Amino acid sequence: MGEAFEDAFALLKIREAMDPRAFMEENDAPGLDRLGEILNNGPEDYSANVFQDAILEQMLDPSNQYDLTDAKTPTLYRAEPMADYGKPHFPDQFRRGRFFSPQKLTAEQYSQYQTKNDRGPSYVHQYELPVPFDDESVLQVPTSKYGLSIRGDGFDIDDPEVARMAEGNDYSLEEALKAIKRWNSVYNGFTPRSNEQHLETTESFRNAGWDNIVWPETASQYYYPPSAASAFGAIDWGAKHEAQYGNRKDVDKYWEPARNVLMEQLGIPERDSRQAMGKHSGFPQWANWHIGDEDSAPKYQSDKDPYLPDMKGKTRRTDYHNFSAAANIAEQSLGLGDRYDRS
């Protein structure tokens, strides 16, 4: 009875993040404690310890998952400036057209962006969506994969969502296809700035019965990859690619336990044999745009204290010097000599 209750509760809420010290004490994967060294780019950069702490924080927070959560009432996060364009914000009060994310790391990136652009300080707040993401009131934008990136795709005229848009608005299929593409205009920056604009932009979606639209943010994946995902890319594709030719299998095997830890914690489903996450591809970052009325809005979790995130070392685009660092760590640890020694 107790186990069944705990299993059911796990589907409702995001679990608490594990303590990094306890995790490292329990885990002896080679190189796991040196991931920060891979991302450090020299004396003018954040220290390897700063990157290491950021990687562990992101990796151990259960909200930071590759795929959309299947929780029945998903936990969502939102960056909320204390004042925006001269107007105070009240995060516990309903406003139309707010954006949320099921990943804490995505909300933290928006907090940093808002604070840097004089819209802050911007705090991260926690909410709860009253329905799962596979509910009929949630429009999930079609996606495709590029390497391990997940990108939003366009709708086709034969898609059932287009037929639903047509039925809900008495549109032809051609008109419905044009209307449903408006999500992409909003994603590209044409966000309604008033209640009237919001209602006009979203009317056809709401007529079709949708209160939320969910998509992966391609630009965030590419320009602001989380450090934990970039560390994975460096030891997944990068280290093997940059190792001395005769050492490649050994280097790849050395990083296998740490790689498996990152995959398990972040929900990364597979390796990428052709490119590196954090350089060529990105870690999916999910956005939920609430377009409905107050009764369908994510509920503010007043018992969860908002916080101003410390973003030091939390994002990093990688390149071949980072992959070389990962290869060097493995080769030195295996006693294979200096990787630049060709003798």
Other Cβ atoms less than 10 A from the Cβ of 86: the count is 5
Q: Tell me whether residue 153 is in a domain.
A: yes
> What per-residue confidence (pLDDT) applies to 119?
73
Q: Tell me whether residue 258 is in a domain.
A: yes
Q: Tell me whether residue 132 is in a domain.
A: yes
Contacts of residue 315, Cβ cutoff 8 Å, sequence gap at least 6: 109, 224, 225, 226, 227
The parent domain of residue 69 ranges over 2-333
- Residues above pLDDT 70, as percent of the chain: 91
Phi, psi of 41 (to 5 degrees): -105, 20
Whether the Cβ atoms of residue 101 and residue 77 lie closer than 8 Å to each other: yes
- Residues above pLDDT 90, as percent of the chain: 73
Using one digit for the tens of pLDDT, what is the confidence trace for 328-338?
999 999 999 66
Tell me the residue type at 337: G
Q: Tell me whether residue 214 is in a domain.
A: yes
Q: Tell me whether residue 198 is in a domain.
A: yes
Q: Tell me whether residue 340 is in a domain.
A: no
Measured distance CA(183)–CA(94) in Å, rounded:
21
- Checking if the pLDDT of 19 tops 60, the result is yes
Q: Tell me whether residue 341 is in a domain.
A: no
> What per-residue confidence (pLDDT) applies to 299?
97
- Checking if the pLDDT of 78 tops 80, the result is yes
Using one digit for the tens of pLDDT, what is the confidence trace for 139-158?
999 999 999 999 998 899 99
Of 115, 78, 111, the C-alpha closest to 301 is 78
Place of tokens 């933290």: 108
Q: How many domains does the structure of the chain reveal?
A: 1
Q: Tell me whether residue 259 is in a domain.
A: yes
